[in-house]
Amino acid sequence: MTNINTEKIKTTKCMEENNYFGKFIVVEGLDGSGQSTQVKLLNSFLTQKGYQAISTKEPTQESEAGKKIKEVLGKSLEIDAMELQELFAQDRKEHLEREIIPNLKQNKIVISDRYYFSTFAYGTAHGADLNELIKMNENFLLPDLTFFLETKPETCINRIEKRGDPKTLFEKREQLAKVWDVYEALPKRFENVYIINGEQSIENVFNQIKVVLLKLFK
């Protein structure tokens, strides 16, 4: 059985549609959900199919905002919830202008590990207002396709611990549960968002992604 939300939902109209030649795909989920692995698989799969694909990630490491975000997530700097999300929006603006849009103009497929859905989910769970966060990002591109990997907070924490990575600001079970509650509600406000069961094997998760992906490239 698949665990894909295939219902077509009315788009939040304030977001900018992608009118460039290339396609914009986003993979999202809780920290430890496996989204980075699926981005790599997507890139490899599309490249093998003959498409020009690039992968990228948010927050970036290139902008001043991205560098400051890293400090906040690493707990070496403390700021309020909205200030943090303003940094994410600034980093995202530069990311779009510097990398995403130029590649879309060249008819490339851009696959991003996180995008503004992370802002909506993590920001709201951390005390920011969802509608304010959406308004903050209203002039940014709406992806052609977005995948949310649904993975239990316990599973995510176990994966993070097995990797030996230090836990960031949001990586606590209770916090991750709140984050997923927001993720789960977002398909009601945005179109082309699909929820995938991230508890499966890496191969099975990717197989479910391909089912949806091939509809976009048929």
Tell me the domains of the chain and their CATH numbers.
Answer: 24-216 (3.40.50.300)
**What φ, ψ does residue 54 adopt, rounded to 5°?**
-130, 150
Whole-angstrom distance, CA of residue 24 vs CA of residue 153: 27
Comparing 79 with 112, the larger pLDDT belongs to 112
% residues pLDDT > 70 (the chain): 89
Pure H helices in the chain: 35-48, 64-73, 81-95, 101-105, 116-125, 130-136, 153-163, 173-185, 202-216
Query: Token pair of 193, please?
Result: 């968002």
Comparing 157 with 170, the larger pLDDT belongs to 157
Please report the sign of the dihedral spanned by the C-alpha atoms of residue 98, residue 134, residue 209, residue 69: positive
Please give the model's pTM, rounded to 2 decimal places.
0.88
pLDDT recorded at residue 175? 82
pLDDT recorded at residue 4? 28
Mean pLDDT of 100-113: 97
Whole-angstrom distance, CA of residue 191 vs CA of residue 166: 34
pLDDT recorded at residue 170? 55
